Amino acid sequence: MELEKPHPVPEHSLAQPLVQLERVEKKYANHTIAVQDANLLVREGEFISFVGPSGCGKSTILRMIAGLSEPSGGNLQVMGGTADSARKSGRLAYVFQDATLMPWCNVLDNVALPLELKGISRKQRTEESLRVLELVGLKDYSKSLPRELSGGMKMRVSIARSLVAQPDLLLMDEPFGALDELTRQTLQQELLGIWSANPRMTVLFVTHNVFEAVYLSTRIAVMTPRPGRIVGQIDVHTSVPRQEDFRTSPQFNELASRVNAVLRH
Ligand SMILES: Nc1ncnc2c1ncn2[C@@H]1O[C@H](COP(=O)(O)OP(=O)(O)OP(=O)(O)O)[C@@H](O)[C@H]1O
């Protein structure tokens, strides 16, 4: 199997640490320990998936990194400061499982929202929004309303909105979970294309789908529940952009088996 040139993920030892979790814990007010003793070092340019069963704390970790929820213990650094300061810097973007579009606004205005909130001029907002809509193949739908789009198209709009302010860190919480398998695979391919075209962009991606994690990631953080822990980290050395035939390769199956073995441990 011939795979293309490697993604320019910087050498691990040289790339900047972007996110660092040291013994991070999250205990909710109802005493649920959602995350315990989580340790992870994310370097610039990586694509890391969190994979694990429902309730193992994947979303909780992502929300803490996004500055939407505070750890109850341990040390969390994002872009050299607190998660809250990283969120306020505007250098990170968050994609939810639902596209969460404003139904009364057209596609262009939905995508332009982060720029509007930053006070960017209408002309520049339009230019930038059309640029990212082209990346996700929706330039011709800029005037459409969300209700006129399929589920996959709505998710593309949501991804375009997350990219419009050119984030350094893209956090995605099960973004393709509600899509049919074929659409899901198409969007995985598109996401990898966008990521590999932006060598400095780091992606943290939550999924419960082992195959999705293997296909997308440079590293997989495997989590188990009660309490939620990162119990293993598996590197995926295959270069990107990845071809569809990676999905049927022996290496793919071997990686999926390794992830499953850690999940069952
Ligand atoms: N706000 C909250 N208050 C109390 N408990 C919570 C809260 N949010 C999540 N939990 C609990 O924390 C644990 C981890 O939840 P979390 O949503 O992070 O898991 P997850 O792995 O993302 O699950 P899923 O794949 O189903 O989204 C679960 O037991 C959940 O019930």
237: its two tokens: 């050395």
32 lines ligand 1 (CB under 6 A): yes
Between CA 195 and CA 191 the distance in angstroms is: 6
**Ligand 1, atom 12: nearest CA belongs to which residue?**
34
Closest atom of ligand 1 to 206 CA is 22
Cβ neighbors of 176 (< 8 A, separation 6 or more) are 155, 183, 184, 187, 188, 207, 212
Query: Which tokens in the block code for residue 64?
Result: 């803490």
Query: What number of CA atoms fall less than 13 Å from residue 142's CA on the CB side?
Result: 17
The rounded Å distance from CA 56 to ligand 1 centre is 7
User: Residue with the nearest Cα to atom 18 of ligand 1?
Assistant: 57
Where do the structural domains in the chain lie, given as residue ranges? 17-91+168-264, 101-166
The closest-lying atom of ligand 1 relative to the alpha carbon of residue 35 is: 14
Helix (H) or strand (E) holding 173: strand 169-173
What's the length of the chain? Answer: 265
Expressed in angstroms and rounded, the spacing between residue 97 Cα and the centre of ligand 1 is: 14
Q: Which atom of ligand 1 is nearest to the CA of 59?
A: 22
Shortest-distance Cα residue to atom 25 of ligand 1: 54
Tens digit of each residue's pLDDT (9 = 90 or more) over 169-206 = 999 999 998 888 888 898 898 899 889 888 889 999 99
- 229 Cβ inside 6 Å of ligand 1: no
Identify the pLDDT of residue 149: 96
* Cβ atoms within 10 Å of 95's Cβ, excluding its own: 24
DSSP-derived 3-state class of residue 185: helix
Give CB contacts under 8 A, 24+ apart, made by 83-89: 86/169
Task: Please identify, in words, the CATH class of the domain defined by 17-91+168-264.
Answer: alpha beta
Dihedral sign computed on CA atoms, order 149, 153, 158, 162 = negative
Q: CA quadruple 206, 207, 208, 213: dihedral positive or negative?
A: negative
Predicted confidence at residue 14, as pLDDT, reads 61
Q: Angle at the Cα of 38 (from 32 to 44), degrees rounded to 5? A: 135
> Given this model, what pLDDT does residue 1 score?
35
pLDDT by residue for the chain (265 residues), tens only, comes to: 333 344 555 454 567 789 999 999 999 999 999 999 999 999 999 999 999 999 999 999 999 999 999 999 999 999 999 999 999 988 999 999 888 999 999 999 999 999 998 899 999 999 999 999 998 889 999 999 999 999 999 999 999 999 998 899 999 999 998 888 888 898 898 899 889 888 889 999 999 999 999 999 999 999 999 889 999 999 998 877 788 889 999 999 999 999 999 998 7
Would you say the CB of residue 30 lies under 6 angstroms from ligand 1? yes
Full-model pTM: 0.91
Report the interhelical angle of 181-196 vs 151-163 (nearest 10°). 20
State residue 222's pLDDT score: 97
Rounded to whole angstroms, the Cα distance separating 20 from 124 reads 34
Whether 57 lines ligand 1, by a CB cut-off of 6 Å, is: yes
Pocket test for ligand 1, best of 56, 68, 263 (most atoms within 8 A of CB): 56
CA–CA gap between residue 123 and residue 136 (Å, rounded)? 21
23 phi and psi angles, rounded to 5 deg: 50, 40
Distance CA 35, CA 223 (A): 10
Taking the CA of residue 223 as reference, the ligand 1 atom at the shortest distance is 21
Q: In this structure, are residues 220 and 236 in contact, taking their beta carbons and an 8 Å threshold?
A: yes
